[in-house]
Amino acid sequence: MKLPISFLPCILAISCWTIACSQSDSEPDAGEDAGEDAGHDGSDPADGKEDGETDGGEDASLDGSDPGDGEDGGESDGGEDGGQDGSDPGDGEDGGEDGGQDGSDPPPEDEVQVQLIWNTPADPDHTDQDGTDLDLHLLHQNAQGTWNESPWDCFSGNPNPDWGVPDSPVDDPLLDPNDTDGAGPENIILPGPEADHDYKIGVYYLDDAGYGLSLATVRVSINGQQVGEFPNKNLAAKDTFWHVATIRWTSDGQAQIIPVDEIHTGFP
């Protein structure tokens, strides 16, 4: 069927409108494309910044913890470096000062030690139980020269008298050991001598066991350092007494060793 020419403009107009509507329906929304381009998954692009901040935090501490913890850890390490086991490094220094080199207590600064040894030429064996007996004596000045009596003479019959301050061991002498059948040694130790006091040293030949002559040697030490020696004194037979020397302890804590070297028969 042929349409009149007068209808052709209307048909063309309708066709153009139809094409325009079809193109409008098929065109993608610009806003959605922008959203996809910004966040790659349609999310707000601001989320990318937050993600970046989180990544930065992880990079700072590697495990998401506060990077300040690392500083605290460094301080802890420093503590371990100080003592190697977390202890105070000063402890070793205190131990070294308080004790001796082997951990034992150091001797008192004023300690006096008197030692007796002897040799009996006629005795073939000084180590057996058949030998000579010499006795070491230390006499306090309160004895007023009276030997072999308590309390002011320290010897085998009075080995640990109470001198000076009552019941204080600091100013009390001690005889240890007492050798009765050999060559010694015998030692008398006085931890703290009294100021302005004299102490006399004597040796008594108690028993010669039939061997006769003995040669006696006495040594005096202060705080472990020998300050005097009286060697090889001839004691001819038993009941011989040798007044060796006097230790004078001054008011300023100094020791003076005054030789006497007198021989007596029996106690003077």
- Whether residue 186 contacts residue 206, with contact meaning beta carbons closer than 8 Å, is answered with no
User: Nearest 5°: CA angle at 183, between 177 and 189?
Assistant: 30
Give the span between the Cα atoms of 119 and 127, in whole angstroms.
Answer: 11
Average pLDDT over residues 114-120: 97
User: Nearest 5°: CA angle at 163, between 132 and 181?
Assistant: 10
Q: What percent of the chain has pLDDT over 70?
A: 59
Average pLDDT over residues 1-13: 45
What is residue 158's DSSP assignment? Answer: B
Would the pLDDT of 245 be above 60?
A: yes
Domains along the chain with CATH numbers: 31-98 (no CATH), 112-265 (2.60.60.30)
Per the DSSP assignment, residues forming a β-bridge with 248 are 198, 256
More confident residue, 25 or 129: 129
Provide the pLDDT for residue 127: 87
Query: Which of 90-99, 125-134, 186-195 has the lowest average pLDDT?
Result: 90-99
For 163, the token pair is 């001198």
- Whether residue 143 contacts residue 132, with contact meaning beta carbons closer than 8 Å, is answered with no
Would the pLDDT of 41 be above 60?
A: no
pTM over 0.75: no
Average pLDDT over residues 144-158: 97
